[in-house]
Amino acid sequence: MKSFEVNFDGLVGPTHNYGGLSFGNVASQSNSQQASNPKEAALQGLEKMKALMDMGFVQGVLAPQERPDVGALRSLGFSGSDAQVIQRAAKQAMPLLVASCSASSMWVANAATVSPGADTADGRVHFTAANLNCKFHRSIEHPTTSRVLGAMFADPQHFAHHGALPAVAQFGDEGAANHTRFCRDYGQPGVEFFVYGRSAFDSRYPAPQKYPARQTLEASQAVARLHGLSEEGVVFAQQNPEVIDQGVFHNDVIAVGNGELLFHHQDAFLNTEQMLAELHAKLAARGGNFQSISVPRDQVAVEDAVRSYLFNSQLLSRADGSMLLIVPEECRSNPRVWQYLQGLTAAGGPIREVKVFDLKQSMQNGGGPACLRLRVALNETELAAVNPGVIMTPALYDTLTRWVNKHYRDALRESDLADPQLLLECRTALDELTQILKLGAVYPFQIN
């Protein structure tokens, strides 16, 4: 049976703005207060989805969330009509209104961790929604994420959904941004690679000093248990705390894996040799030949990796067995990174081509090509069970482009977030979107 890696990209929501909300994420902090362009952001994302579809990859789309999140503001004590809630928050606690308006659900690599059916004890594809509890604006995503994933992957014969882990920092879970899977073929049992930033219950593990480690070992272990993964099919590794302190807030800012290949920076991990040996041995036991490409710090410094998002790329397998790397424009404008990439594709290794995309609107909040997609490996039967409304087609691309042009603003500043009209615009757009994507009722305004 054929199997595929399907990339589900987050559609950017109508309230995309630069709130400066993510301490430890260099781009988010340095672009705070700039005016954003939600329309351009959504169109840039759609361009990438279309390009991958045109190249022959199966591409899906994941819906954005209702923002401002009036329910979250009510839970913090703001009351009255929806418009009054927004106005009172704007007057008394602007940072809370900004957080409740974030379109951060676009970075769907953080939506959930996904284990394909070939790896799990019951043979179903397992999803655990990420609690994202390191940042308030992201911690409010998972209830809607769970409903949207449930509407996309509804058939319980093939898909199992787990709610987010307990909402405490000890179980901080950021989803697939710290998870990669190695395999010979997407449909064969693979090795799932969980990367954590610290241990919450064992003080022997080192931890970053300046910025938070968002993913804990205990959260990763819990996800592996929930998904019914076997010990032979799992490797846990610790991120180097020093790179977290340089702005590597998720492992996908410093490493990316696909098929049998791990592409990573030399300084990405602790105990690298031991970790690579374990990956090699476990993949070999599953019939695979693990390979890694380590990018030396004297060619690409950690700072270059953080600024260019070289590793926040999509590593895709083409039909001829070679790989393609999808990188953001910022890689081309960094001379060291661009030179490294020229050498990489000329070297005759597995990565043969680099394609560049303009994702500036998302990049300015620290979200590159890999942040914008959630990978789900599916066999033909499972793919047939996915809600067909969320699979990208030329017609869906045209419909979504029209939908964005009709509903989105082309400039958004902090002062605009206090406008109750923005909530109405967002709800009108999302109500139409749930019909386009055939999701049913998934948003608070549709179900309460």
Q: Is 109 in the site for ligand SUG (CB under 6 A)?
A: yes
Q: How far apart are CA 256 and CA 258, in angstroms?
A: 7
Instruction: Provide the strand spans (E) within 249-381.
Output: 255-258, 261-265, 291-295, 314-317, 323-328, 351-357, 373-379
Piece of 16-24, 51-59, 62-70, 222-230 that binds ligand SUG (CB under 6 A): 16-24
The only residue of 50, 124, 126, 250 in contact with ligand SUG, by rule CB under 6 A: 250
Q: How far apart are CA 236 and CA 308, in angstroms?
A: 27
Q: How far apart are CA 260 and CA 284, in angstroms?
A: 10
Q: Is 18 in the site for ligand SUG (CB under 6 A)?
A: yes
Q: Between β-strands 261-265 and 255-258, what pairing exists: parallel, antiparallel or unpaired?
A: antiparallel
CB-based contacts of 203: which residues, under 8 Å, 6+ apart?
none
Q: Is 110 in the site for ligand SUG (CB under 6 A)?
A: yes
**374 vs 390, beta carbon nearer ligand SUG:** 374
Phi and psi (nearest 5°) for 251?
-65, -25
DSSP state of 424: H
- Min. distance of Cβ 418 from ligand SUG in angstroms? 16
Q: Is 257 in the site for ligand SUG (CB under 6 A)?
A: no
The only residue of 86, 97, 164, 253 in contact with ligand SUG, by rule CB under 6 A: 253
- Give Cα separations from 250 to 25, 120, 239, 253, 306 (angstroms): 9, 25, 9, 6, 11
Q: How far apart are CA 431 and CA 441, in angstroms?
A: 8
The only residue of 6, 11, 12, 21 in contact with ligand SUG, by rule CB under 6 A: 21
Q: Is 104 in the site for ligand SUG (CB under 6 A)?
A: yes
Q: Is 142 in the site for ligand SUG (CB under 6 A)?
A: no
Q: How far apart are CA 331 and CA 351, in angstroms?
A: 16
Residue with tokens 């954590």: 196
DSSP state of 239: B
- Min. distance of Cβ 77 from ligand SUG in angstroms? 23
Q: Is 138 in the site for ligand SUG (CB under 6 A)?
A: yes
Catalytic member of 134, 183, 371, 426: 371
Q: Between β-strands 191-196 and 234-238, what pairing exists: parallel, antiparallel or unpaired?
A: parallel
Q: Is 430 in the site for ligand SUG (CB under 6 A)?
A: no
Instruction: Provide the strand spans (E) within 362-443.
Output: 373-379
Q: Any bridge partners for residue 5, and if so which? A: 377
Q: Is 20 in the site for ligand SUG (CB under 6 A)?
A: yes
Q: What number of chain residues touch ligand SUG (CB under 6 A)? A: 22
Piece of 5-13, 22-30, 165-173, 323-331 that binds ligand SUG (CB under 6 A): 22-30
Site string for ligand SUG, 350-379 (x = CB under 6 A): ---------------xxx---x--------
Q: Which 3 state secondary structure label does DSSP give 178?
A: helix
**139 vs 399, beta carbon nearer ligand SUG:** 139
Q: Is 192 a catalytic residue?
A: no
Largest Cα separation within the chain, whole Å, is 64
- Min. distance of Cβ 121 from ligand SUG in angstroms? 27
Q: Is 252 in the site for ligand SUG (CB under 6 A)?
A: yes
Q: How far apart are CA 171 and CA 249, in angstroms?
A: 16
Piece of 3-11, 103-111, 300-308, 408-416 that binds ligand SUG (CB under 6 A): 103-111
**27 vs 52, beta carbon nearer ligand SUG:** 27
Identify the burial level of 259 via C-beta atoms within 10 angstroms of its C-beta, where 0-12 means exposed, 13-18 middle and 19 or more buried: buried
Q: Is 174 a catalytic residue?
A: yes
**253 vs 337, beta carbon nearer ligand SUG:** 253
Q: Is 250 a catalytic residue?
A: yes
**93 vs 436, beta carbon nearer ligand SUG:** 93
Catalytic residue set: 174, 250, 371
Binding residues for ligand SUG, rule: CB under 6 A, are: 18-22, 25, 28, 102, 104, 107, 109-110, 138, 177, 249-250, 252-253, 365-367, 371
